[in-house]
Amino acid sequence: MDTLLASKELITDAINQIVMDYSNGVQIQNDKLKSINQENEQLTKLTHKMTHEIAEKDKLLSRHEKTIHEYSVLINDLQETKEKEISEKEKHSMLRTQDKEIKRLTDELNALKQKHQPKDTVKPSIGLTPSSTNDNVSEIILEATKKEEVQEEVKEEVKEEVKEEVKEEVKEEVKEEVNEEVKEEVKGGEEEEVPEVIIITHYKKQYFIIIGEEPQYIYGIVDDELGDKVGEMQGKKKVFYLPSKK
């Protein structure tokens, strides 16, 4: 009888030990699952934050590309306008110069004709002008041709210099405007603070809570954004408001 009781006691102790080991194993697994769930919540929060930041940066880049395109079109229009204005000014200046040069050459030619015209004789016709007069006229015409070529070269050089100056001035103005716009947008983005949240689950429905907030409110989730207050955390207990309470 004593042997039977001893065996029974040993069996009971073994069973209790098995139950205790099983309970400890279940507790360890629950702790691991809890830790994994917390990590998943943190990763979900980080993913949501990064997705939001990427979307905002994409919008900002799109606006900047549109702005740069608009400024490029503006620069081209301004360049075309400047070129037209320069071309018109050059045409008027060239015409005035040519008129002056033609008048000067005409006066010199008339003066030479009068100087070499024989006195008390009939004015020689074309082809009968003395050779010295022809030589002088040829020299005057050659000189006028050379001057015209030099004017064309100077005009082209001035035109290129004006174009470069206009381009540089327009580019500097555009750069300053784009930099000011980017600074304002970046400054505005830095002032906006995004609260750090974690996701909790209640009856298979997810909610947000803000880390470090006192008291710890529970917020609804609307389109992955922070919604209205729907309850409070009282210790580890979730207390939800009645439908009438805001």
The pLDDT tens digits of the residues spanning 109-128 come to: 888 878 766 554 444 444 43
Q: Tell me, what's the pLDDT at 171?
A: 53
The single-letter code of the amino acid at 145 is: T
CA-to-CA distance for 84 and 82, rounded, in angstroms? 5
pTM score, two decimals? 0.28
Provide the number of structural domains found in the chain: 2
In a domain, 92, yes or no: yes
- Give the three-class secondary structure for 168: helix
Nearest 5 degrees, angle CA 103-CA 106-CA 111?
Answer: 125
Q: How far is CA 1 from CA 6, 12, 13, 197, in A?
A: 9, 16, 18, 66
In a domain, 44, yes or no: no
Q: Tell me, what's the pLDDT at 77?
A: 87
Q: Tell me, what's the pLDDT at 45?
A: 92
Q: Tell me, what's the pLDDT at 129?
A: 46
- Burial of residue 73 (CB within 10 Å: 0-12, 13-18, 19+) is exposed
How many other CB atoms are there within 10 angstroms of residue 163's CB atom? 14
Same domain, 156 and 202: no
In a domain, 124, yes or no: yes
Whats the size of the chain, residue-wise? 246
Q: Tell me, what's the pLDDT at 196?
A: 86
In a domain, 12, yes or no: no
CA-to-CA distance for 235 and 216, rounded, in angstroms? 9
Q: Which residues in the chain show pLDDT less than 70?
A: 1, 116-194, 244-246
Domain that holds residue 214: 195-246
Question: Of 151, 172, 191, which marks where a domain is finished?
Answer: 191
